[in-house]
């Protein structure tokens, strides 16, 4: 049974809560977007130092908002918060069922979204441990995920869709190598890789692992091919000659 609002507040560091509340605009926006349970989850993460100060909203997708924040040591972190009320939990459930790492997938909206968040954190852990260029996972609880902020001084690096790489050949090679490491060493497939989910630092960093699944998923090879085709399509648009997707696929799954 979840503790109520007052019970949680009585255990938290009031100074940290007051610091969040001082930025009234951010606090009001978050209070409008997220339910009480999510705000309590944020307070618990604040209390254990994962977040200390929140800044603006970096992006707002169909299911989640991403905020820029500082941790207790003054380091920038990214907070990804899945919205309980508006997330497409039925689609999430469909993708979770095929992931063999999850023996039991909840049926209720909140449980599905919590599992979805947990899966993204696990995907980042496996990718990071394999040496794939991804944001370092920091912590997660319920529908909130904390990870390394990819940017400088609170400003995120651009997406591949918005900025052409200075060295397309090198960028393409790094991305193909990343997809290979994901499959062979991390044993996962990104499943949603495109220019929309790559940041340039200027070297590429893969982001948004919410769709990532293990390679034992019956759909894994189909999803891997789609990732490869998306990369090839983008770089061919830049005028670059690339190997055929089938050749890249064969090299990865051999």
Per the listing, tokens 């630092």 go with 201
192 in active site: yes
Residue 43 to residue 52: CA distance in whole angstroms: 10
Nearest Cα to Cα of residue 213 among 175, 186, 180: 186
Per the listing, tokens 């705000």 go with 39
- Longest Cα separation, the chain: 61
**One of 192, 203, 214, 227 is an active-site residue; which one?**
192
* DSSP H helices in the chain: 5-11, 14-22, 24-33, 36-47, 89-97, 109-129, 168-181, 220-237, 245-253
Q: Phi/psi at 212 (nearest 5 deg)?
A: -55, 140
153 in active site: no
Q: What is the DSSP string of 220-242?
A: HHHHHHHHHHHHHHHHHHTT---
**One of 99, 208, 214, 227 is an active-site residue; which one?**
208
- Residue 71 CA from chain centroid, whole number: 18
Residue 127 to residue 39: CA distance in whole angstroms: 29
Residue 106 to residue 110: CA distance in whole angstroms: 9
Per the listing, tokens 């996972």 go with 137
Residues carrying an active site annotation: 192, 208
């Amino acid at each position: 049974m979840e503790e109520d609002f007052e019970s949680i507040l009585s255990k938290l560091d009031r100074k940290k809560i007051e610091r969040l509340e001082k930025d009234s605009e951010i606090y009001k926006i978050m209070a409008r977007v997220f339910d009480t349970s999510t705000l309590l989850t944020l307070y618990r993460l604040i209390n254990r130092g994962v977040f200390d100060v929140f800044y603006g909203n970096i992006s707002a997708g169909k299911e989640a908002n991403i905020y820029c924040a500082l941790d207790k040591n003054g380091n920038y972190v990214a907070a990804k918060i899945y919205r309980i009320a508006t997330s497409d939990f039925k689609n999430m459930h469909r993708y979770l069922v095929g992931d063999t790492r999850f023996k039991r997938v909840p049926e209720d909206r909140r449980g599905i979204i919590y599992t979805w968040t947990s899966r993204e954190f696990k995907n980042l852990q496996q990718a990071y441990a394999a040496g794939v260029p991804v944001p370092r996972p920091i912590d997660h609880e319920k529908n909130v995920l904390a990870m390394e902020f990819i940017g400088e001084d609170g400003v995120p690096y651009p997406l591949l869709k918005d900025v052409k790489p200075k060295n397309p050949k090198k960028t393409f090679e790094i991305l193909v190598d990343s997809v290979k490491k994901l499959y062979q060493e991390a044993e996962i497939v990104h499943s949603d890789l495109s220019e929309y989910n790559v940041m340039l630092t200027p070297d590429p960093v893969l982001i948004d692992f919410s769709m990532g699944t293990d390679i034992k998923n019956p759909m894994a090879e189909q999803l891997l091919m789609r990732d490869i085709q998306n990369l090839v399509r983008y770089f061919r648009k830049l005028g670059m000659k690339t190997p055929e997707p089938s050749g890249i696929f064969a090299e990865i799954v051999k």
